[in-house]
Amino acid sequence: MAPTQAEQQTQASRHQEVGHKSLLQSDKLYQYILETSVYPREPEAMKELRELTAKHPWNLMTTSADEGQFLNMLLKLINAKNTMEIGVYTGYSLLATALALPEDGKILAMDINRENYELGLPVIQKAGVAHKIDFKEGPALPVLDQMIEAGTYHGTFDFIFVDADKDNYINYHKRLIELVKVGGVIGYDNTLWNGSVVAPPDAPLRKYVLYYRDFVLELNKALAADPRIEICQLPVGDGITLCRRIK
Ligand code: SAM
Ligand code: CA
């Protein structure tokens, strides 16, 4: 059945919401994916963490359930063992990662906010995967610089998920390309930035969407031109660009 005009308008306005987690043209289609393939297979702990996070005032920052499922599958497909995450919030993508890794797998997880991480931590502990996580509170960039300087971390990471301050993604990339192993993957999240990457210059965007948009546009161009990586930009969640290091 074709959507009514009112339904089309509601959909159009939902697509302008910052927290809206799908770039699909139809909300019904997104709901269908969630209800058919995602929620029925979502691990109990991830469901608990998702519901706990939904009550938090900054919940629009969380990774969506379909993206969590995607990350979990990807990590298993590439047999990831040593990983990094920049931008943890309450830990939904972190838990998706921790559940996918083998018993001796590792995640170096960084966030400037420990409080939000600790909100989700009991759920991660109950799931029996907290031992895989090394959480560092503080800005990620200086930690990456220390790792580069130490020299022993070069080419050691199988997978790195970047989901933090978008104005630093280019700076992260300069360092992460050395830390990820050849054949390893870096995933940059929110690379379609709420669809704003194609918004006309005078579009009524929220302040923070507008502020970060140019950084996301620059990043997308830089990744597309980087000969050290192969890339694949997927319309999952708010857009994720997978970069496979080839040299
Ligand atoms: N991946 C998370 C999830 O699945 O819920 C969502 C992360 S949220 C979109 C972005 C996070 O980046 C926030 O928790 C914020 O505190 C963190 N952040 C912002 N600037 C940062 C920085 N310079 N270094 C590390 N983390 C940072
Ligand atoms: Ca994100």
List, for residues 141-186, the tens digit of each pLDDT value: 999 999 999 999 999 999 999 999 999 999 999 999 999 999 999 9
Tell me the β-bridge partners of 232. Answer: 242
pLDDT of residue 9: 52
214 within domain boundaries: yes
**Which residue is it, tokens 């920049």?**
86
Report the amino acid identity of residue 149. E
Nearest protein Cα to ligand 1, atom 24:
139
Distance 114 CA to ligand 1 centre (A): 10
Q: What pLDDT shows up at residue 13?
A: 52
Per-residue pLDDT at 203: 87
Contact 126, 52 (CB under 8 A): no
Rounded mean pLDDT for each run of 10 residues along the chain, 247 residues in total? 51 47 76 95 98 94 96 98 98 98 98 98 98 98 98 97 98 98 98 92 88 96 98 96 97
ipTM of this complex prediction, to 2 decimal places:
0.99
Number of domains in the chain: 1
CA distance 186 to 84: 9
- Report if residue 173 sits inside a domain: yes
Does the beta carbon of 92 lie inside 6 Å of ligand 1? yes
Residues spanned by the domain of 98: 24-245
Distance from the CA of 86 to the center of ligand 1, in angstroms? 6
Q: Is the CB of 137 under 6 A from ligand 1?
A: no
- Residue 2 inside a domain? The answer is no
Query: Is any ligand 1 atom within 6 A of the Cβ of residue 226?
Result: no
- The residues near 34 (Cβ < 8 Å, ≥ 6 apart) are 65, 66
Measured CA to CA, the distance from residue 112 to residue 178 in angstroms comes to 23
CB neighbours of residue 153 within 10 Å: 18
Strands 229-234 and 82-86: unpaired
